[in-house]
Structure 1
Amino acid sequence: MVIGLVIHTSHRAAFEDAARTLAGVTVEWVVYEHEDAVHGLVGDLLDRRGVDGLLLGLVPYAKCRDLLPPDLPVAILRSAGLDLSLAFFKALARGWRPTPVSIDTYDAQTVSEVVNALELDPAQVTCLPYDPEQSVAEIVAFHRTALARTGGDYVISLRTAAAAQLQDDIGVIGGLPGPATIRAQLHELALRVQSKQASALRFAAGVFLVGRAGPKLDLDRARVGLMNLLLNTPGFADAWIEDRGRRGVVVFAHQALFEQATDNWVSLPALSQAQETLGIRVAAGFGVGASARSCLHLAERAAARAEQEQQPSAYLIEDSGVIIGPMGPVGSAVAFTYREHGAELEQLATEVGLSAATLSRLAAVERSLEGRAISPSDLAQQLGITDPSGRRLIRKLGDSGLVEVQGSTQVHRKGRPAQLYRLCIGAAMERR
């Protein structure tokens, strides 16, 4: 297992100490002096070495997020309340008053919890939450203005460049995550990578059905031709392929093989090859489950669904209830659908005026939140849509009683508070 660590040069000792607790992991170091160098350094790492996971802070992530493959496990290092508490105690050890103080990068909730736990005066604590659009100059100006107003002695800063500009005339304490926080997040990332690797080795099945043969090719000959085509397809070289009789061919392999052959469930070139070389239309289905029997059953269901499409296509059905498709002969957009309550979900989607795929993705977001509220902006980010689209979606859900207002949050000092909502899609489906 190879994990990349993207860190500022001044932080390497702390990360080396945390990384010593991991066995069987090779660490690839990306060490930068200035934030602007992050993009090029991470690009070099991804080009020269395949990494299984990447751990980096908020600033490096903002600088290189466009380079990161969508399937690469990434952990964004965030300082915890313990780290902020230790920063306050460092100030006391230096003889400074704990407040007034100006803090950057920590989220407002963490600051509030620590301030209350240490019984400090919240009015004497100024906080600037992380914003990737803020420049170092703006952060420095914020701290200077805050200390001039409150008469504070020092700042707690996670921004190395800002701290360097302030430390000549203002007391600065770095809020770098401590070894315990780094170690915990590094271990969590390693477990995610391990889980992903284990998932790739799950057993899977594929069912290929001949949908239509040409005028000079009957179904038996078409099936034999399809089987020979698959046997000679490099992507299926390590798979077990057998003739099922009638008009089908079945393929057994690890999930990872099918993911590679379909470009991570996006397209299946074998569909166009069958049409071009054999003159037949093929529908394919893949199933991923706990046993060969369940995989085959799911693959048959997926193939039956693919047959309903007007063009050669393929679907995947997992035992978790996820459906991915349609996959075409070449890359195209795919829909992710959760089918635990298939009929209820489709009926509810029709009533709300949304597609079943969109509503199922919202249901998946709701499950991941475990009852927590979410802002329209955060919902839009999870769905990969724009903020205005997220607000319109919330309004549509509200009109159908599928969200409840749960208060508001002030993310930034400037601007209007963001309304928070709790999704109620699961409860609506359970009532049906």
Structure 2
Amino acid sequence: MVIGLVIHASHRAVFEDAARTLAGVTLEWVVYEHEDVVRRLVAGLLARQHVDGLLLGPVPYAKCRDLLPPDLLVAILRSAGLDLSLALFKALARGWRPTPVSIDTYDARTVDEVVQALELDPKQISCLPYDPEQSVAEIVAFHHSALTRTGAEYVISLRTAVAAQLQGSTRVLGGLPGPATLRAQLHELALRVQSKQASALRFAAGVFLVGKAGPQLDLDRARVGLMNLLLNTPEFGDAWIENRGRRGVVVFAHQALFEQATSGWVSLPALGQAQETLGIRVVAGFGVGASARSCLHLAERAATRAEQEETPGAYLIEDSGVIIGPMGPAGSAVAFTYREHGVELEQLAGEVGLSAATLSRLAAIERTLEGRAISPSDLASQLGITDPSGRRLIRKLSDSGLVEVEGSTQLHRKGRPARLYRLRIGTAIEAR
């Protein structure tokens, strides 16, 4: 599990302290001095490393939110009432009166709860809740106004840039969440990632049905053609595919494989391929359940529902009752397929000791990476196999010269670094 942390340089020690109790997690640190570089640094992280989750404050999130993949789990740091209470007591320990005070970024509700719990005068507290549209200059101007208007003796600010500008003109306390709050939010994000990964490893089934038209012989031929199409589709390289007669073609695999093939249950390019290459109308249903039998039952229900649509499509039904669909044939399947590179790929697969379908799928993944390196665990995730299987596969590819080492995933001194590898399958095929 890899979690990215986007933090200001001055906060790293606090985050390191909070992360000490987090086991089984590799942390990727994105450390910035100025907010303007956050977007570039986060883009660099996403380009070089797969991350399962990202923890960052509201300001960094506003700077890079459009860069974040839709399937990436994101946690936005929120300071709790405990952190504000500690800041107020810290002021008291320094001999300052707790109020009047000017506060930024905290939610108004959090401030109200603390004021009520500590029996403070709300009229003595100026609060500016976080707004991504507000500039540092506007926040500084708010505090200067509060200092004049209410006679506030100091400022509590969560913004490093704001605190830097106020230093020298007034007393400032940072309101960064303490280790307890940070630790809780880190653990919560890790549990969300773990839950998502466990869900992706659940077993699932897919049922592909040929439209009922023409004599029985034509249907039999259509089902055989459909089965061959799925067998030669890189996305289904590691799936179990079986011809089930009148029930069509059945595919068994981990849920993660189907999620990848459907772009997160959005579209199913194989339906369009069946129409274009075989001239047949195909619908599909997917089922996710506690057993192979329940998966198949749910997939058949989903396929039956898809048959009721006017155009080819697919549905997903989970045992929790969730129904997703219809998924259309929008998009295109991976162009780098076994059929297009038959002889060369078969020869190379035989030399490496892999099936042609698996090697074709690896070549397809290489194309999607566009020259970027990948770790064994990330490759395993994309293939829908276990991490040990991913490492064994990398060793086999390395022995055949189909990957090369390209750096490490962990630059921080803590934790064991994992190597990155660049796939070279396309180059090997073109050289033949």
Q: TM-score, with normalisation over the residues of structure 1?
A: 0.75
Q: Which residue of 2 aligns with 1:199?
A: 199
Alignment-mate amino acid for residue 55 of structure 2: L
Alignment-mate amino acid for residue 129 of structure 1: P
Q: Which residue of 1 aligns with 2:144?
A: 144
For residues 406-428 of structure 1, give each alpha carbon's deviation from its aligned partner in whole angstroms, at most 9, with x where no partner exists: xxxxxxxxxxxxxxxxxxxxxxx
In 2, the alpha carbon distance for the partners of 1:71 and 1:54 equals 11
Are residues 1:101 and 2:101 paired?
yes
Cα displacement (A) at 1:213: 5.2
Q: Does the aligned pair in 2 maintain the 1:220–1:247 contact within 8 Å?
A: no
Q: How does 1:75-154 map to 2 (within 5 A)?
A: 75-154=75-154
Q: Which residue of 2 aligns with 1:17?
A: 17
Mean Cα displacement is larger for which, 298-307 or 180-189?
A: 298-307
In 2, the alpha carbon distance for the partners of 1:120 and 1:263 equals 53
Q: How does 1:273-288 map to 2 (within 5 A)?
A: 273-288=273-288
Q: Does the aligned pair in 2 maintain the 1:223–1:247 contact within 8 Å?
A: no
Cα displacement (A) at 1:97: 0.6
Q: How does 1:222-261 map to 2 (within 5 A)?
A: 222-261=222-261
Cα displacement (A) at 1:51: 0.5
In 2, the alpha carbon distance for the partners of 1:215 and 1:27 equals 60
For residues 313-351 of structure 1, give each alpha carbon's deviation from its aligned partner in whole angstroms, at most 9, with x where no partner exists: 11111112221111111149xxxxxxxxxxxxxxxxxxx
In 2, the alpha carbon distance for the partners of 1:260 and 1:269 equals 11
Q: Which residue of 2 aligns with 1:265?
A: 265
Alignment-mate amino acid for residue 105 of structure 1: T
Q: Does the aligned pair in 2 maintain the 1:115–1:122 contact within 8 Å?
A: yes
Alignment-mate amino acid for residue 21 of structure 1: T
Q: Which residue of 2 aligns with 1:404?
A: none
Are residues 1:4 and 2:4 paired?
yes
SS at match of 1:287: strand
Q: Which residue of 1 aligns with 2:418?
A: none
Q: How does 1:55-94 map to 2 (within 5 A)?
A: 55-94=55-94
Q: Which residue of 2 aligns with 1:329?
A: 329
Q: Which residue of 2 aligns with 1:157?
A: 157
In 2, the alpha carbon distance for the partners of 1:260 and 1:313 equals 17
In 2, the alpha carbon distance for the partners of 1:121 and 1:275 equals 71
For residues 254-301 of structure 1, give each alpha carbon's deviation from its aligned partner in whole angstroms, at most 9, with x where no partner exists: 100101111111111111221122221101000111111211111111
Residue segments in structure 2 that go unaligned for 5+ positions in a row: 333-432
In 2, the alpha carbon distance for the partners of 1:74 and 1:64 equals 12
In 1, the alpha carbon distance for the partners of 2:84 and 2:71 equals 32
Higher relative contact order (CA 8 A, sep 6+): 2
Q: Which residue of 1 aligns with 2:32?
A: 32
In 1, the alpha carbon distance for the partners of 2:302 and 2:96 equals 66
Question: Structure 2 vs 1, CA of residues 121 and 247 (structure 1 numbering), >3 Å: closer, same or farther?
Answer: closer
Cα displacement (A) at 1:4: 0.3
SS at match of 1:161: helix
In 1, the alpha carbon distance for the partners of 2:276 and 2:55 equals 45
Q: Which residue of 2 aligns with 1:210?
A: 210
In 1, the alpha carbon distance for the partners of 2:214 and 2:38 equals 56
Q: Which residue of 2 aligns with 1:338?
A: none
Alignment-mate amino acid for residue 10 of structure 2: S
SS at match of 2:226: helix
SS at match of 2:152: coil
Cα displacement (A) at 1:212: 4.3
Q: How does 1:151-190 map to 2 (within 5 A)?
A: 151-190=151-190
Question: Structure 2 vs 1, CA of residues 246 and 216 (structure 1 numbering), >3 Å: closer, same or farther?
Answer: closer
Q: Which residue of 2 aligns with 1:220?
A: 220
SS at match of 2:177: coil
Alignment-mate amino acid for residue 324 of structure 1: I
In 2, the alpha carbon distance for the partners of 1:180 and 1:156 equals 19
Q: How does 1:331-346 map to 2 (within 5 A)?
A: 331=331
Cα displacement (A) at 1:239: 0.9
Cα displacement (A) at 1:216: 11
Cα displacement (A) at 1:215: 8.0
SS at match of 1:24: coil
Alignment-mate amino acid for residue 96 of structure 1: W
In 2, the alpha carbon distance for the partners of 1:218 and 1:149 equals 85
In 2, the alpha carbon distance for the partners of 1:9 and 1:217 equals 70
Cα displacement (A) at 1:200: 0.2
Alignment-mate amino acid for residue 209 of structure 1: L
SS at match of 2:83: helix
Q: TM-score, with normalisation over the residues of structure 2?
A: 0.75
In 2, the alpha carbon distance for the partners of 1:176 and 1:281 equals 58
In 2, the alpha carbon distance for the partners of 1:179 and 1:221 equals 64
In 2, the alpha carbon distance for the partners of 1:147 and 1:186 equals 35
Question: Structure 2 vs 1, CA of residues 245 and 217 (structure 1 numbering), >3 Å: closer, same or farther?
Answer: closer
Alignment-mate amino acid for residue 187 of structure 2: H
* Greater than 4 Å deviation, 4+ residue runs: 212-217
For residues 204-232 of structure 1, give each alpha carbon's deviation from its aligned partner in whole angstroms, at most 9, with x where no partner exists: 11001010456896111111111121112
SS at match of 2:123: helix
Q: Which residue of 1 aligns with 2:295?
A: 295
Residue segments in structure 1 that go unaligned for 5+ positions in a row: 333-432
Give the number of aligned pairs. 332
In 1, the alpha carbon distance for the partners of 2:313 and 2:104 equals 51
Q: Which residue of 2 aligns with 1:381?
A: none
Alignment-mate amino acid for residue 12 of structure 2: R
Q: Does the aligned pair in 2 maintain the 1:101–1:156 contact within 8 Å?
A: yes
Alignment-mate amino acid for residue 166 of structure 1: L
Q: Does the aligned pair in 2 maintain the 1:214–1:280 contact within 8 Å?
A: no
SS at match of 1:238: coil
Q: How does 1:40-59 map to 2 (within 5 A)?
A: 40-59=40-59
